[in-house]
Structure 1
Amino acid sequence: MIVQRKRVVVTGMGHLSSIASNVPEFKQALLNKVCGIKPSERFAAYFEHANASEVLQDVTYENLTPEVEASLDKAALWAYKVGYEALSQAKADDLAFREKTGLIIGVSSAGTEAYMPVIEGDYEKFSLQKTMISGSFASSSAIVSGLLGLKGGFELVATACTASTNAVGMGFDQIQNGKNPAVLVVGTEPLYLPTFAGFYALHAMKPEPASPFSGNPGMSIGEGAGAILIEEYEHAIARGATILGEIVSYATSGDGYHETAPDPRAEGAVQVMRAALANAQIGPQDIQYVNAHGTGTEANDRCETLAMKKVFPNIADIRVSSTKAYVGHNIGSAGIIELVACFLTLPEGKVLPTLNFTTPRANFDLNYVPNEFQEAQVDLFMKNNYAFGGNNCCIVASTRAEASPATHYEPKRVAITGIGAVSSLGHDFQSIVAGVWEARSAGAASKLIGENDVGFKEAARTLLESFSSNEDVSNYLRSKCGDGGIEELLEQSVWLHSVQDLDPRKYLRRFDSRKANAICTFALLAITQAMKQADRKIKRDGHDLGLILGMAKGPQTTVDRYLKSLFPEPTKVRTSEFPGALMNAISTFCSITEGIKGYNTTLATGANAALGALSYAYELVRQDLQPQVLAGGSDENFSKFWAYLQAMEEGLQLTTKPEDFQVYSEEGRGFLPGEGAGILFLEDYQHAKNRGVPVLAEIVGYGKASDGSYFDRDNWSARSASMAGAIRQAMDEAGITPHDVDLICGSSKGTQRSDHIELDAIRSIWGDRTNQVPLVNYTACFGMVDSCVSVLNMAVVIEIMKRGEIPPIPYTKKFCSNEFGFVVEPLRKQVGTALVLGSTEGGNHYAFLLKQGA
């Protein structure tokens, strides 16, 4: 069956940068050729010749109270501001419209601002409220969806300089599948000391404003935010929206080459442009303008120029320019700010110039539109962005709807043909399965901390004593710890599910211990397992295999080392740690090691981010964009102290043994943190059959919804209703009813809140039949491996389908309700269709339906 792709149009835009506070101001600044790159006001004290494009003007946030505004960091505030503007321009005020609208935010450095007083040792300025609300990497997506009333599900893309461009592509896919009639796409990037210091130490900065493709090389760093509301064309027409442009197609790729430097052969850049053209079903001759990444560095500009020459035989006739000479390199928000600039000027028949252009460098011989606008009628154009780690992204867009022919694709069935996993139960999936079926005590593979751990206690005490003058923190600790304070807390013991006795060299053919921290090692080990089971070996065909990873906390040990190197001399920060501290560093490491060069994206949506990765990977295969994709997540245990703080933030009692981790328990004691990885190998069902590879399971539908209750986290009814909506969406796509489901697997972490959200959602769907459907959850077996606990549970469900036997829920003795079919002892049952659930801490809910493999 051939399906015509839906047209995806732009109906609203938002902007904030050094040169403008809204879209009309931005258009005028562009036309006036205003350069916002100036000597830095914030970083001059640390760095000589520090130039930056900084947002220094007062910013107004409509409809936010002073209390809410004070609790948010700039990443969230700016995302809200530009998102509000885009929705307002689109006249998207209808509540029903917003409840179906998705949100995807692209950002490189998030959750940083709340901790800057700790990093800089200025503890008096530390705000516990800001930390609780805005202190996680994923918080901005939950905050903005809640404030704007967007309930169609959200994701956070963290691929550094391609983040917002990639976010546009994800939103495009969700509209194609009917998941959302509209998606708000945002890029937001405040500039903080760690980011500035990293680029400065890499000698990437230019003492003067950047002049891409000309003069002395070097970049100028910037900050800001941008937003576009993308909408299904017929939906936009039906509600009378003004069409500002069209997103025609997109593609991503990975170089698999180096942590920071682009491939000098430009293979990844060439691949991504050709893929985007193929997806648009057009040729190079149809593109009339390229808005380049154009950072100004020698390596980027040279690679990008070479790539365009390889892709476009007619490159001499195509105008190419970089917008970064206006507002600097805005990192995670760069792509969307530059895309907005195109939609503002190209319809006027004006092609954006590359400002500050002087003498072209050797072999830089394209029409870079130097300094002055060029008049031209542009219908189809290309927007390119590239990032550390070799993440490449390309969008083909149009200044008006229907400027390009309609495109088509053949929907594919999505099969799972490989599973890889690492956890406290073992270093491979079969060991983990054995532990689940044997109900082996996870304590044998867990690590007790607290008892006799003098080093830990001293470090924790020293940190907290630094906060002694901060009344905010002191009051909080007193409320959580009682009169005994931190000393009482430190005398307690807590378990962590830790991966023990792992020697990666026993399992991996290629392994560089100098570049591999724990989280990279876990991910790589799981990836190689999944590839082996799927019988996939890369032989110069890495472009046919994609990698989508979901992160919760990311490379914590590397981030810690990098931040500690900032002081006392930020100019001498450890450059070797800078790229490794990014969220996409794990994907970079694995792609380089294994030669994976297809679609490549990192999501950082928090707990169960791997389900967001799985939904994206599913769309890539289903929509025939990529024949094979690896999807999942990875986590490492980091600081014992932060484990305590996490437990306190959740309002939990600290558990003293693994057996206290009891999901759906009457007592609701809470969870234990865990580490490890879970990876699934997805591919076109027929492709797997043709290869003779067994299909372990088939994904037949998924749903995603967000509850918008981030500021009212005890609103269980809103959260369970949202999860129920995700379940219904999955069933609608799969074409099945509740009667067809043979097994439900939840991923609650054992708190009363997370237990009841899942159970109430199930009750609302199954009604008086809830006790007739077996319900399981194996999270207590391997701990709360934040990013991928649902994928680990899903892997166990696939094994259940194979064996025809359902192992019981571990540890829980007394369940919180007798309405449900909790599996309390081994159950022989053939499971043909299973439902797997998962949620983020920010109120994003996922539901996946699996069918038994054939």
Structure 2
Amino acid sequence: MKTNRKRVVITGMGILSSLADSLGGFKQALLNKTCGVADSERFSKWFDNARAAEVLHDIDYSDIPADIVEALDNAALWAYKVSKDALQQAGLEKNTACLDETGMIVGVSSAGTEAFLPLFEQRIQDFSLKKAMYSGGFASCCSSVSTLLGLKGGVELVATACTASPNAVGMAYDYIQNGKSKTMLAVGTEPIYLPTFAGFYALNVMHEDSCTPFSGHSGMSIGEGAGAVVLEEYEHAVARGATIYGEILAYATSCDAYHETGPDPRAGGAVQVMLKAMQNAGVTPEQIDYVNVHGTGTEANDRIETLAMKKVFPDAEKMPVSSTKSFFGHNIGAAGIVELIACLVTLPEKKLLPTLKFGVPRPNCDLDYVPNAFREKDVGIFMKNNYAFGGNNCCMIVSMRPGATPQTTYDAKRVAISGFGAVSAIGHTFNEILEYIWARDKQPVALSEVKFYDDTLEEAHELLATLTETRQFEALLGGEFTINDSALPENDVNFKTFQVTNLEPRKHLRRFDPRKATRGGTFALIALAEALGSAKRKIKKDGDELGMVMGMSRGPQETTYKYLQSLKPDPRKVRTSEFPGSLMNSIATFCGISEGIKGYTTTLATGENAALGALTYGYEIVRQQLQPQVLVGGADEYFPSMSLYMDAVTQKIHRTAEACDYQIYGQNPKGFVPGEGACMLLLEDPDAAKARGVDVLAEIAGYGKSNSNSYFDATQLSEKAEAMALAIARAFADAGITAKEIDLVCGTSNGADASTQVELEAIWQTFGQANPRVPVVNYNAYFGFVESSAGLMNLAVLVDCIKKQAVPAIPYTEAFCDERINFVSAPLQTTLRNVLLTGATEGGNYYAFIIRG
């Protein structure tokens, strides 16, 4: 049955750029043809002729408590500022009922950086433990901003470098399409920090003055800023009398699957993403009136983007295109949304944004780039394109005349799991892992010792001494907090992790290049290959029909460590070989290139259980028939880094554990035991899988999301539990079932006291009256806590439970902490029809899925 796509309109905007800190000021600066690129005082201390488009405005944060402002980085503060402005313009800032249902998707490239700048800028005395705890996580800005704004619809962080913010807009668009919310907030935020500036500078792609896209001397101008848009279902906006600024007709993503940094010279991915976006919107190239291009000013981007336009538009030479990076530089993760807002504030004036400082066109750049001056034109539909390292491409189709374009339809699909692949400490394949779990006489896996680099230990102990001298532990964690300098002494053989050992990639892979493979990337690729193999899906020349959504927690840690260490003592000599590999989307890039995956591709970096966020997005892509198949997964490499040290010192990790000491839901919680590995699954319509002769492993009947508003108060466990219970209730509503119909509950608590309390209280709130004896399991103690993919690892076991109609016991836990809960303490034979899987991020984001056999 055909389903009409909902009309999704923009009802609020917020902006912060080098040009202005208000929407009105931004518009006027654009109309005045102001260029925000200037000499950079901040970076000139390291680099000659340092130029950037920087945010230097004095921003008022007086509505936030001073102690919270101190704890937040600019990524969060800027996201808060533009989000609040957008909600105010939309008239939703104080609409509690609406905010309770509103989710937030943030796009950023280099998050969680500012708190650690003192370490690699060699000013360790300035390190703030408070900022590290509240702003040191990659997705921390999502948690802090949603708490400050009172949003409860769930959050995600998109980390696809320069396409992050338009990808965030696209995801927000989809969450309205799926009926999860009437309103969504999409945000892009990107302060420029030393690692980013140094990387681009060392690549020798910076313009010596200000970028001149498509003409003159090639080179980019780096910029920073933030933008936010409120997306709203059209009927909802009209009913409340909202002002509408534009309609998102469609969007699409793709992957070049070509190179870590350079674009495909044939422009294949760029062409594909434009065609797919127009197909989704139900429009033709002839209906597009204007294209706001990526236009970085670099030779490769401008040449390939020009080629892509010629391949998509029959009369490309007549199509007006322009690059707004000539105004405010390349805002990296925030680029797309800032450029979208630039269009939305100038096109109503019937003015096309020009490409500033346009001179002599470069070879092969022969389009109409709207040089130097605004052009009068009444635009009905425009296209917004952005491209990124790793070959991530994103395209949005936007109408300036909401309601004028016919609605498109889709054939809503059921979503099934047809393939699984996994790598962990207890097995290098999905089947090996299951064999280990079902073999009840199996001895616990031997944990591996952590081995630190000498410079990491030296820096870590220096930092600990600084924090002790400044009494930051007592100030933040209370006077009763005990600092243990023996947390990670040299040669501490008691600090163990679940590490993947004796892995031979070439036993599992047809093609494998160890020179380009990180540890996490290797895990992901092996799991991906197994998932495709089990689903009998061979990629030939149809890689554009297969999407991939990765969920990341700490990312490629070893590569990032090496890159950051190379900043010292001279950032001008940074190692460019590690720069692209340190990005969160580098693992998806590696997998895409290795296997030729070219469809919808994105990376979420929402932290613990990020792969569950990836699962929600993959579900929507298949359900809405945007792609026939999507790979969903997460990968973690455990590396003895500064973050490990801080986790140990602040007692999040069970430092002296053996495998059997990791007792989830135990009476005496001691923190989690780290693990590493990867888990990947293939989603598709069950009928398509059966037609290919593949048995469907399970079906995703529905899901729910929510987030708490207690990020700054760790004691508010009841509020967090209510938020998780809300996610479960939303999953029930989505699947059309009740608590009485659930046969098994699987949690993903990492074993820490707070994590367990929140999860069990949410389960009791949900089932205490309706289904109090529902069995509860959690299998993280088998793998260690594999942060990004803990939920998917447990899902793999659940799928097998449904197949066998049997449930393995929770491993190792001897005495359980909550008498109300029916923990599975011995193997159980039972009927399994509907299974509930729950998950949480460390920032208070909650997921719930209904899995059906």
Regarding TM over 0.5, the answer is: yes
* Greater alpha carbon shift after TM alignment, 482-491 vs 553-562: 482-491
- 1:768 aligns to what SS in structure 2? coil
Which position in structure 1 is the counterpart of 2:105? 104
Deviation for aligned residue 1:769: 4.5
Offset at residue 818 of structure 1 (A): 2.3
* Residue 650 of structure 1, CA deviation: 5.2
Q: Distance in 2 between matches of 1:461 and 1:576?
A: 29
Q: Match for residue 407 of structure 1?
A: 408
Pairwise CA distance, 1:77:
0.4
Q: Indicate the larger mover: 703-712 or 636-645.
A: 636-645
Alpha-carbon deviation of 1:530? 0.3
Q: Which range moves more in the overlay, 658-667 or 607-616? A: 658-667
**2:699 counterpart of 1:687:** no
Aligned in 2, Cα 1:169/1:453: closer, same or farther, shift over 3 Å? closer
State which drifts further: 44-53 or 166-175.
44-53
2:286 aligned residue: 285
Provide the C-alpha distance between the structure 2 equivalents of 1:483 and 1:261, rounded to a whole number of angstroms. Answer: 47
User: Equivalent residue for 2:381?
Assistant: 380
- Taking a change above 3 Å as real, the CA distance of residues 87 and 477 of structure 1, as seen in their structure-2 partners, is closer
Q: What letter matches 1:159 in structure 2? A: T
Corresponding letter in the other structure for 1:208: D
C-alpha distance in structure 1 between counterparts of 2:410 and 2:755, whole Å: 39
The answer for the alignment partner of 2:546 in structure 1 is 545
Q: Secondary structure at the match of 1:222?
A: coil
Any residues of structure 2 matched to 1:563-602 within 5 Å, and which? 563-602=564-603
- Corresponding residue number in structure 1 for 2:795: 794
**How far apart in 1 are the matches of 2:191 and 2:379?**
32
1:65 aligns with 2:65: yes
Do the aligned partners of 1:634 and 1:676 also contact (CA within 8 Å) in 2?
yes
What displacement does 1:802 show? 1.0
User: Could you say what secondary structure the match of 1:538 adopts?
Assistant: coil
Query: 1:770, 1:819 within 8 Å by CA — same for their partners in 2?
Result: no
Q: Which residue of structure 2 aligns with residue 700 of structure 1? A: 701
Deviations 1:1-53 (A, max 9, x none): 11101000000000011110111100000111100011111111211221110
Contact 2:836 2:849 in 1 (8 A): yes
> 8 Å contact 1:446–1:499 — kept in the other structure?
no
Q: Which secondary structure does the structure 2 equivalent of 1:307 belong to?
A: helix
Asked if structure 1 preserves the Cα contact closer than 8 Å seen for 2:447 and 2:658, the reply is: no
What letter corresponds to residue 405 of structure 1 in structure 2?
A: P
- Could you tell me which residue of structure 2 aligns to residue 85 of structure 1? 85
Q: Deviations over 1:306-349 (max 9, x none)?
A: 10110010223321000000000000000000000010011110
Partner of residue 370, structure 1: 371
1:135-534 paired onto structure 2 within 5 Å: 135-439=136-440, 443-449=444-450, 460-461=460-461, 464-465=464-465, 470-472=470-472, 482=482, 485-486=485-486, 493-534=494-535
Alignment check: 8 A CA contact 1:380 1:403 kept:
no
CA offsets per residue over residues 461-510 of structure 1, 9 Å max, x none? 45545666544369779968747644797768222111111121221111
Shift of 1:771: 3.8
Shift, 1:648, TM fit:
3.7
Cα distance in structure 1, aligned partners of 2:328 and 2:454: 50
CA distance in 1, matches of 2:784, 2:710: 26
Structure 1: distance between partners of 2:58 and 2:376: 35
1:180/1:483 CA distance change after superposition, 3 Å? closer
1:39 is matched by which residue type in structure 2?
D
Change (3 A) 1:470 1:432: same
Does residue 827 (structure 1) correspond to residue 828 (structure 2)? The answer is yes
Residue 771 of structure 1 contacts residue 820 of structure 1 at CA under 8 Å; is this kept in 2? yes
1:447 CA displacement: 0.8
Higher deviation after alignment, 36-45 or 11-20: 36-45
* Deviations 1:163-216 (CA, angstroms, capped at 9, x unpaired): 000000000100001111111111000001100010011111110100001111
Question: Per-residue CA shift, 1:529-565, capped at 9, x if unaligned?
Answer: 1010011111111000011000000011001000111
Give percent identity, aligned residues only.
55
1:567 to partner: Cα distance: 1.9
> For residue 377 of structure 2, what is the amino acid of its counterpart?
A
- The 3 A distance-change label for structure 1 pair 487 and 145 is closer
Alpha-carbon distance in structure 2 between the residues aligned to 1:474 and 1:47: 39
SS of 1:548's equivalent in the other structure is: strand
Partner in structure 2 of residue 29 of structure 1: 29
The AA in structure 1 aligned to 2:369 is: Y
Q: Matched residue of 1:772: which SS? A: coil
User: Retained in 2: the 8 A contact 1:762–1:770?
Assistant: no
Q: Quick one: distance in 1 between partners of 2:455 and 2:23?
A: 53
How far apart, CA to CA, are the structure 2 residues paired with 1:763 and 1:497?
Answer: 31
Q: Post-superposition shift, 1:441?
A: 6.0
> Match of 2:820, as an amino acid?
E
Gaps of 5+ in 2: none
3-state DSSP of counterpart to 2:769: helix
> For each residue in 1:549-605, what CA deviation from the matched residue of structure 2 results, as whole angstroms up to 9, or x when unmatched?
000000110010001111222122111100000000000001000100000000000
Shift of 1:232: 0.6
Aligned to 1:76: 76
Task: Check conservation: 2:292, 2:382, Cα contact below 8 A.
Answer: yes
Asked if structure 1 preserves the Cα contact closer than 8 Å seen for 2:544 and 2:598, the reply is yes
Q: What is the CA-CA distance between 1:813 and the residue it aligns to? A: 1.2
CA distance, structure 2, for counterparts of residue 288 and residue 125 of structure 1: 51
Amino acid at match of 1:328: G
Matched-pair contact (CA < 8 Å) for 1:442–1:782: no
State the Cα distance separating 1:65 from its structure 2 match. Answer: 2.0
The structure-2 alpha-carbon separation of the partners of 1:531 and 1:480, relative to structure 1 and needing over 3 Å to count, comes to farther
3-state DSSP of counterpart to 1:43: helix
AA matched with 2:197: F
The aligned residue for residue 719 of structure 1 is 720
Secondary structure of 2:125 counterpart: helix
Structure 1: segments with no counterpart, 5+ residues: none
How far does residue 139 in structure 1 lie from its aligned partner after superposition?
0.3
Structure 2 distance, partners of 1:705, 1:487, is: 35
Cα distance in 1 for residues equivalent to 2:113 and 2:262: 25
Q: Which whole-Å CA distance do the structure 1 matches of 2:562 and 2:763 have between them?
A: 44
Higher mean displacement: 27-36 or 354-363: 354-363
The residue aligned with 1:677 is 678
Distance in structure 2 (CA, Å) of the matches to 1:455 and 1:229? 46
Cα distance in 2 for residues equivalent to 1:144 and 1:772 = 38
Q: Give the 3 Å change call, closer, same or farther, for CA 426–288 of structure 1 in structure 2.
A: same
Distance 1:572 1:563 in 2: 11
Distance 1:780 1:483, change over 3 A: closer
Segment drifting more, 126-135 vs 478-487 = 478-487
Q: Normalising by structure 1, what TM-score? A: 0.97
- RMSD of aligned alpha carbons: 1.9
Partners of 1:476 and 1:144 lie apart in 2 by: 20
Whole-Å separation in 2 of the counterparts to 1:472 and 1:520: 37
Instruction: Name the amino acid aligned to 2:14.
Output: G
- In structure 2, the residue matched to 1:15 is 15
Answer whether contact 1:745 1:835 (CA < 8 A) is retained.
yes
Relative to structure 2, which stretch is displaced further, 665-674 or 194-203? 665-674
1:273 deviates by 0.2
CA contact (8 A) 1:105 1:157 kept: yes
Provide the C-alpha distance between the structure 2 equivalents of 1:657 and 1:456, rounded to a whole number of angstroms.
Answer: 24
What is the CA-CA distance between 1:453 and the residue it aligns to? 11
* Alpha-carbon distance in 1 for matches of 2:766, 2:515: 50
Q: How far off its partner does 1:115 sit?
A: 0.3
Q: TM-score, normalised by structure 2?
A: 0.97
